[in-house]
Amino acid sequence: MLTAYFHNPNIHPLLEFRKRLKAVQVLCERERVPLIACDAYGLEEFLQALAGRHSGPERCASCYGLRLEATARCAAQRGFPRFTTTLLVSPHQDREVVCRLGHAAARRFGVAFDDTDRRALHNAGVERARHLQLYRQQYCGCIFSECERYRDTTAELYRGGQPSPTAESRRVGHG
């Protein structure tokens, strides 16, 4: 039997974390899949795990490791023989690093890591999420990827025909 596990201390800001947790809860309820959810906002845990590694590949590997360790620990504690991760569905993640870290975590906790390549399911998963009207993320989740994702969006801040507030309108309380 499949059991879902949500442990994402990397997700920032808090409202994004809550949206993603709610989407998983809704999906699991609809599909009748048991869910184990770590609902504590883990920004501090995530930042400590990075230990100054803020560049893309190092940061992502630290994040993968943190989450895969927690998943392997949960699997072992609950008596599950194996675990996998939705990271293996995404074409945006470094599959080789995810597999290496997943197998290492599995060895530490005495469980197996299922490293089946599920990237061919990505588009179908996106369509299924749209069909179910689930919240869909716009970036991987961490504060650094949020910055990278929205870095060039300043022109979109005043979209919709609304002019940018001028210094004069702000001074007189209209902006």
158 has pLDDT over 90: no
H-helix or E-strand spanning residue 40? none
Cα 8 from Cα 67, distance rounded (Å): 7
**Segment 133-157, tens digit of pLDDT:** 999 888 888 888 888 888 887 755 5
How high is the pLDDT of residue 169? 38
Cα 24 from Cα 22, distance rounded (Å): 5
Cα 123 from Cα 127, distance rounded (Å): 6
Residue 138, C-beta contacts closer than 8 angstroms, at least 6 positions apart = 149
Cα 149 from Cα 157, distance rounded (Å): 14
Q: Where are the beta strands (DSSP E) in the chain?
A: 4-6, 35-37, 82-83, 112-113
Helix axes 56-78, 95-109, angle to 10 degrees: 30
pTM: 0.82
5 has pLDDT over 60: yes
Best-predicted range by mean pLDDT (8-12, 101-105, 147-151): 101-105
**Segment 43-71, tens digit of pLDDT:** 888 988 888 777 778 889 999 999 999 99
How high is the pLDDT of residue 172? 40
> Which sequence spans correspond to the domains of the chain?
4-152
